[in-house]
Amino acid sequence: MITSGMLVLSLAACSSAKTVDTKESASPSPTAATAQNTAEPKKAPVKIKYATYRVGTHVSAAAEKKILDEFKKKYNGEIDLQVEEIPGDQAYVDKIKVLAASSDLPDVVEGKNGLNDLLIKGNLATPLNEYLEADTSWKDEVGSDAIKSNSRDGKVWSIANGAQLIGYFYNKELFDKAGVKPAATWDEFIANLDKIKTTTGVAPMAMMTGENAWTTNLLLGAIVGTSGDAGNKFMNTPFPKSFEAPEFIEGLKKIQTILQKYTTKDALGAGYANAANNFLQGKAAIIANGPWMISDFSDKTKALEGFDSKVGVAMYPNSGMFSSFEVGYMLTAKNKETKDAAIKLLKFLTNAHAQQINLELSSTMPLTANVKPSDEFKQKNPLFMASVELGGQAKSKFANLDSINFANVTDAWKTFYPELNFNKATAEEIAKKLSAIAEKNK
Handedness of CA 229, 230, 232, 236 (dihedral sign): positive
Strand, coil or helix: 76: coil
| φ/ψ of residue 273, rounded to 5 | -55, -35
Q: Rounded distance, CA 25 to CA 43, Å?
A: 33
Distances (CA, A) of 294 to 104, 370, 381: 36, 22, 8
- Burial code (b: 16+ CB inside 10 Å, e: under 16) for 106-142 equals bbbbbbbbbbbbbbbeeebbbbbeebbeeeeebbebb
Q: Give kind and range of the element (H or E) at residue 275.
A: helix 272-280
Which residues are CB-neighbours of 352 under 8 A, at least 6 positions away? 141, 366, 370, 371
Handedness of CA 142, 144, 147, 149 (dihedral sign): negative
Strand, coil or helix: 208: coil
Model pLDDT, residue 37: 54
Q: Rounded distance, CA 300 to CA 420, Å?
A: 36
Model pLDDT, residue 22: 38
Residue 407 · residue 242 · CB < 8 Å: no
Show the domains of the chain with their CATH numbers. 46-161+326-380 (3.40.190.10), 164-325+389-438 (3.40.190.10)
Q: Rounded distance, CA 362 to CA 338, Å?
A: 30
Q: Rounded distance, CA 355 to CA 373, Å?
A: 10
Residue 313 · residue 290 · CB < 8 Å: no
* β-bridge partners, 110: 329
Provide the pairing of β-strand 284-289 with 46-52.
unpaired
Distances (CA, A) of 103 to 180, 284, 345, 396: 53, 42, 20, 41
Instruction: Please classify residue 440 by burial: count the beta carbons closer than 10 Å to its beta carbon, then call 0-12 exposed, 13-18 middle and 19+ buried.
Output: exposed
Which residues are CB-neighbours of 112 under 8 A, at least 6 positions away? 89, 92, 93, 326, 327, 402
Q: Rounded distance, CA 106 to CA 6, Å?
A: 81
Model pLDDT, residue 42: 74
Please compute, for residue 309, the number of CA atoms within 13 A of its CA located in the half-sphere on the CB side.
Answer: 2
Along the 442 residues of the chain, how does pLDDT read in single tens digits?
Answer: 333 443 333 333 334 333 334 333 444 444 544 445 555 677 899 999 999 999 998 989 999 999 999 999 999 999 999 999 999 998 999 999 999 999 999 999 999 988 998 999 999 999 999 999 999 999 999 999 999 999 988 999 999 999 999 999 999 999 999 999 999 999 999 999 999 999 999 999 999 999 999 999 999 999 999 999 999 999 999 899 999 999 999 999 999 999 999 999 999 999 999 999 999 999 999 999 999 999 999 999 999 999 999 999 999 999 999 999 999 999 999 999 999 999 999 999 999 999 999 999 999 999 999 999 999 999 999 999 999 999 999 999 999 999 899 989 999 999 999 999 999 999 999 999 999 999 998 7
Residue 146 · residue 160 · CB < 8 Å: yes
Model pLDDT, residue 107: 98
Strand, coil or helix: 320: strand
pLDDT digits 0-9 by tens, 212-245? 999 999 999 999 999 999 999 999 998 999 999 9
pLDDT digits 0-9 by tens, 333-386? 999 999 999 999 999 999 999 999 999 999 999 999 999 999 999 999 999 999
Model pLDDT, residue 100: 96
Model pLDDT, residue 43: 85
| φ/ψ of residue 382, rounded to 5 | -65, -30
Model pLDDT, residue 442: 76
CB atoms within 10 A of CB 14: 10
Q: Rounded distance, CA 197 to CA 204, Å?
A: 6
Model pLDDT, residue 39: 58
| φ/ψ of residue 374, rounded to 5 | -70, 165
